[in-house]
Each structure stands twice: as C-alpha cells, then as structure tokens.
Amino acid sequence: MGMITGVSGLDKPSGTSDTMVDDSSMVTVPDDFTEPSEALKHVKKGGRLRFTPGTYRLTQPLEITRNITVTSTTGNPKDVLLESKHDTAIILKAANARIQGLSLQNLGAEAKSIGAEACTLYIPGGTSEVVNCEITGNSDGIQVTGDQTNPGVSHCKIHDCGRAGVLVSNGAEGQFTDCEMYENTFCGLGVRNRGTHPVVEKCKIYQNERAGVFVWKNGVGIFRNNTLKNNVHGDWDIDDASKVIRTGNTPNK
C-alpha cells in the first residue's frame, strides 16, 4: 500500500481542486481531497466517503455524525489503512452509518490509558454497522458504550490490541456476528456494567492473553455458537455479579 500523510503528504492529481466537490453524494480520497477530515465535511447524508488503496495517516480523528458509508474503493480491508496517532481513529456518533472494507489502527493511546475514546473505533451511540474491517491498536480495538448504542459488527477481525479487542460497557448492546477476536493483551471481548447486553454469535475468540470473554460488574450477554480456544487464562471469565446465556459454544462453559 502507498503512504498518504494528509495534506502535506500527497499532491492532488492534476486538475483537481478542493473547490470542485460541494456536498457530493460520493467523495473519494485522495482524488477529491487529500485530507480525510476535509473530505468528510463534503459528504452529505446518505453519501459515501471512499478511499483508494494506500495508508492514510490521520491528522485528527474522523468523527462520523451523519448517516453515510465510509469504505474503500476495492472493498478489501487489506488495501486501505487509516492510521491514527491520536487516542482514536474513528468516532462513530451517527444514528445509522456504515464503515466497510477498511483497516483501522490506533498508534496513540497506550495500553495503560483507560476510558472513553482510548481505542481505535469509538461508538457512543446509534445503530451503525461495521462490516469486513480489520482493527488493531495500542489500547481497546472497539469501544461500544451508552444505553442508546446498539451497533452491528460483522465479519471483522479485531486483533493485537493493547487492551480488549472489543469492550462493551455502560448499558450498551451490540450485535457481533462472524467476527474474529484474537491475540489481544486483555481479552477478546469484555462486557462491563449493569444493563450492558451484547449478542455475540458465530465468532472465533482465541489466543488472547487474559480470557477469551470477560464479563464483570453486573454485565449481561447472549453468546451463541461461538468458538473459543487457546486463551491464556481461560476461555470464559464471568464474575459472580454477572449473568450470561450460553448456547452451542465451543466450549460452552
């Protein structure tokens, strides 16, 4: 993949001007804008922000507040990497947006940094979808938080994160389907706090340094037909205050 480092790192193609795109339904980086955050401003509701193959070093987190699709032109997450040195790469606040076919990496937040937005992908609300993405970073991979938050995450790989691959907390839900969560420092998937209630189906959760699934502080969850294996401190770690429903998992206890 080629390296693209924001405005200063790539010249616009000949004949391309930052004034050419105005509330377009489709904006492409770097064809229309070299800076992803500037391109995002010009995508109207229902539109698409696309990235051609390359590595893009984000100069600031991308905050998605409109119902748009953010994707690669090829649909293959190996072709496009969005790399952030901030505490988060993408903040997904929209009610119903979609992120698809991208790799996301956070190089900024160290594993010791705990709390909101200390992650690669932060989802504090809405029912957006994250599909066919690869997510890694120095802290949590995905944080899903808040009692109005119920995203769908499917066909994603979340790995080599400095804390949890996925952390669901503070009353959030979330549908996690056909994902892989592996080689994370803390756990593959964590569920924390009363009222938190994800549904996890057909996922592979393996080789995490603590537990595969860790549920604590009154967390709740439904786990169906998942495969857990080779997690260093056990596949399941459910504290006495938490309750999960497990059906058809390997192992199921």
Tell whether the model's pLDDT for residue 3 goes beyond 70: no
Q: Give the three-state DSSP class for 166.
A: strand
pLDDT in the model for residue 75: 97
Distances (CA, A) of 103 to 81, 100, 168, 250, 252: 5, 9, 21, 28, 31
- At residue 226 the predicted structure's pLDDT band, cuts being 50, 70 and 90, is very high
pLDDT in the model for residue 118: 77
Task: Please write the tens of the pLDDT for every residue from 37-86.
Answer: 999 999 999 999 999 999 999 988 999 999 999 999 999 999 999 999 87
pLDDT in the model for residue 119: 92
Give CA–CA dist 1/40, Å, rounded. 22
% of the chain with per-residue pLDDT over 90: 83
Mean pLDDT of the chain, nearest integer: 89
- Kindly list the domain boundaries of the chain, sorted by start residue: 3-247
Tell whether the model's pLDDT for residue 7 goes beyond 60: no
pTM of structure: 0.89
Cβ atoms within 10 A of the Cβ of 176, count?
Answer: 28
Task: Please write the tens of the pLDDT for every residue from 76-135.
Answer: 999 999 999 877 899 999 999 999 999 999 987 554 444 555 799 999 999 999 999 999
Tell whether the model's pLDDT for residue 232 goes beyond 70: yes
- At residue 20 the predicted structure's pLDDT band, cuts being 50, 70 and 90, is very low
Give CA–CA dist 137/118, Å, rounded. 10
The CATH topology of domain 3-247 is Pectate Lyase C-like (2.160.20)
